[in-house]
Amino acid sequence: MGHISERESELPDTVVNKLLCIVAENKDVISLSLGEPDFTTPKPLLDYAKKVIDKSTHYSPTAGYSELKEAIAKKLRKENKIKCEPDNIIAGTGSQELFMAGFSSALDVTEEVVLPSPCYLAYIPQIELVNGIPKLFQLKEEDNWNINSDELKKIIDKKKTKVILINTPSNPTGNVLDRKLLEEVADIAVENDLYIFADEAYEKLIYDKKHVSIGSFNGMEDYVVTFQTFSKSYAMCGFRLGYACGPKKLIEAMTKVSHYITLAPPSLSQLIGIKALSLPQIYIEKMRKEYDRRRKYIVKRLNEIGLKTATPNGAFYAFSNIKPFAQNSYKFANSLLTKQKVAVVPGTEFGKYGEGYIRFSYATDLKLIEKGLDKIEKFLKR
Ligand SMILES: Cc1ncc(COP(=O)(O)O)c(C=O)c1O
């Protein structure tokens, strides 16, 4: 009968998914588009996976094995200074699943999440899938992509807003929010009795700055849900393992939802996650240093060729202004792909305020980045 729900029909088709297919099928395309580490998972973890695969054939509890939740709570207390116990933790099939469980648990129909744009592409469709309302506040290049807390205050609706969502380090801008700004956001949440969903997927990939977890501020453990993941820090995207830490009542609700979505995160991934949390930091540090080397190169080169780019202090993205060359970022990206076989992501993938910008990923070998930028330079001079 072919009926597709209105809700589903209105979901945007992600350009990123199309790019994944194009890049996989066309070996001559240089991809500066993808949001996943080009590194493989550290070898000790892969070796360990082979050893424990026989122990991974059963479901785990929905929120994850106790040993994993204990290791995560210990990590969050030690590294992020967040007050928490295993009861405050839920592990999920990537942090992406947990955002869905979080929105579903925190929002009734037509209640709002206030969130920045440009922002990670999954938030808006996920909020809409649970019939909530995403209310965007604009991040601006001239503010170095920082949150303007006055703007944030203005768009909160006393009755309807339930969640403020922040993402630091940010995908797509690479911006890292500093302590003072986070304190302002925390005050706004407390004044209005709102949850803060803090997406810290890239907390370990940080350059010349320090990552601060808003959940570590005094008393904020009652308001903040911190989302982190093994995907980026440990190059474990394919294992699909993330976690959230928050107020116990909300975590229990998220666990209920999660049970009906995925039942439980993959058992093998959880065993590897426990092992990952005991690895020396050097494995992450090696990857971070290499990203940093690429970051310095790509930002300098993009600015030299006329694509104005603020220096990102986190993640592995550069977000560049293409307005002197084109007004429509989708057409720009499409034309670059067709003419020079370089894949990049149009800013509109990250919400309406991303128009006029392009996201470049430097989770790609430096030699390819150099080659890609030569081609982009040629493309701009056409
Ligand atoms: C900002 C941000 N949050 C969350 C995710 C989802 O990560 P995962 O589901 O692999 O934990 C991503 C993935 O790219 C991301 O960029």
Cα–Cα distance measured from residue 243 to residue 96, given in angstroms and rounded to the nearest whole number:
9
Position 275 scores a pLDDT of: 98
Confidence bin at 34 (pLDDT 50/70/90):
confident
- Among candidate residues 337, 339, 344, the one with its CA nearest the CA of residue 319: 344
16 in contact with ligand 1, CB cutoff 6 A: no
231 in contact with ligand 1, CB cutoff 6 A: yes
Q: Does domain 58-276 have CATH number 3.40.640.10?
A: yes
Does 327 have pLDDT greater than 80? yes
205 in contact with ligand 1, CB cutoff 6 A: no
Global pTM reads 0.97
Confidence bin at 11 (pLDDT 50/70/90):
confident
Cα–Cα distance measured from residue 262 to residue 271, given in angstroms and rounded to the nearest whole number:
18
CA 365-371-375 angle, 5° bins: 140
Ligand 1 centroid, distance to 212 Cα (angstroms): 18
**Beta strand segments in 76-160, E:** 89-92, 112-117, 133-138
What are the residue boundaries of the structural domains of the chain, listed by start? 6-41+282-380, 58-276
94 in contact with ligand 1, CB cutoff 6 A: yes
Cα–Cα distance measured from residue 350 to residue 356, given in angstroms and rounded to the nearest whole number:
11
Does 333 have pLDDT greater than 80? yes
Position 306 scores a pLDDT of: 96
Report the mean per-residue pLDDT for the chain.
Answer: 96
Distance from the Cα of residue 292 to its chain's centroid? 18
Superfamily, domain 6-41+282-380: Aspartate Aminotransferase, domain 1 (3.90.1150.10)
Position 145 scores a pLDDT of: 97
Cα–Cα distance measured from residue 65 to residue 67, given in angstroms and rounded to the nearest whole number:
5
Cα–Cα distance measured from residue 310 to residue 300, given in angstroms and rounded to the nearest whole number:
10
- For 181-199, the pLDDT digits (tens) are 999 999 999 999 999 999 9
Position 230 scores a pLDDT of: 98
- Among candidate residues 208, 155, 154, 219, the one with its CA nearest the CA of residue 183: 219
Ligand 1 centroid, distance to 379 Cα (angstroms): 31
Q: Which residue has the tokens 């979505």?
A: 261
Does 208 have pLDDT greater than 90? yes
- For 232-273, the pLDDT digits (tens) are 999 999 999 999 999 999 999 999 999 999 999 999 999 999
The length of the chain, given as a count of residues: 382
